Structure 1
Amino acid sequence: MENNIETLFNRKNKKEGTNEKTFIVNMNESLFNKMDETLRTIKEVKGEFCSRSTFVEQAVDCYLNNIENELQILQCTKTITSYSDQVIVFTCSEKANTYNTMFQNRFWSCVSLGKEVVNAIQSGHIKYFALYRGKPRQYIDSYAEIININKLPNGKYEFKLGEIQPLPNPVSLNGIEPSSIMKGRKISLEKLLTSTEIDTL
């Protein structure tokens, strides 16, 4: 990421033929004076001149790079109507290979659900499904919309899932006890998308 003073001087001399667009930036007096003070300091330290336009351009570039993760979250959630929607989390063993045989094929079968949870899913309050993957991975890395649930002859339930969506960052166990990942745990979509550690869910 380009975000240092050296970059200002490396970029200030534009190559001929570079496509540029011009726009006017309005800023309050305090911010304007602070920018000028910074540019004077740069000139004193470097002995070189940096224009306001170059400084602003670089500041915008750095800002966009720094919010890249937030933009990924927005991309993941562009079809989501509410961050308050709930996600139900189950666990899967990597040894059993159920992640590949079931989840990757957009279903999850033979789970026990209480009446309240069934009602919450059917009413649309619990809208999403996620899996905590056991050793050696020990993280949640994706989620999917719940299309519907079907009751099986044995009294358990099967989930039919929509397209699997990757999380911006895997949510890792990070050293806490695996028992903290409860089967059927419910969390908000906002927490799932913005967390990186299980214990913050």
Structure 2
Amino acid sequence: MEIFITSIQSIVPIIVIIILGYFLQVRGWFQESFGNDLSKLIMNVAMPVAIFTSVLKYLTLDKLISLSGGLLYTFIAFILGYLAAFIAVKVFKVRSGRRGTMINTFVNANTIFIGLPLNIALFGDQALPYFLVYYITNTISTWTLGVYLMTSDSKEGASKQTQKFNWKKLFPAPLLGFLVALAFLVLRLPVPSFAEST
């Protein structure tokens, strides 16, 4: 029971922030572009920097090596997820044009905007390395097989459009922040003190 109460207490601040944001938007405090601008700032600046500093703070080379086996388990979990999603699409007779989206939403999660804050709120900063292992797998899954399934799933009678693969999507800014941090960790590069304190 104590764990449940702690979990609720961890989630309450996130819910309060969501409610506050909703009421401020309704009252006209923000312009139409505010959401997109804030999203760009978080995804391209704040999140990569936060992940970079967190990896260097909470992850060591030994721990990284021990966590590498976790990638195998997450890939297996995603494969099982895709199998279950394909079965669900067949069982529920999801029509063409919606199958790719259903499979993608069934398997891949919103790991940054919802997953990361919730994970840290529930388990603390020490859970970040485990979260990042999942994040790598989720990003690869979303921007490879997930996008392929959605773009190749045309409605009946509609021509299938050939989409070019966008490599930028496979390496979003938060993942690049993680990869740069890994390079610093593996090569044992020193981080200037001002970078950690800003």
TM-score of the superposition, structure 1-length normalised?
0.20
Q: Which structure has the higher relative contact order (CA within 8 Å, separation 6+)?
A: 2
Q: Larger C-alpha radius of gyration, 1 or 2?
A: 1
Quick check: which one's helix share is greater?
2
Higher normalized strand content (fraction of residues): 1
TM-score for the superposition, normalised by structure 2: 0.21
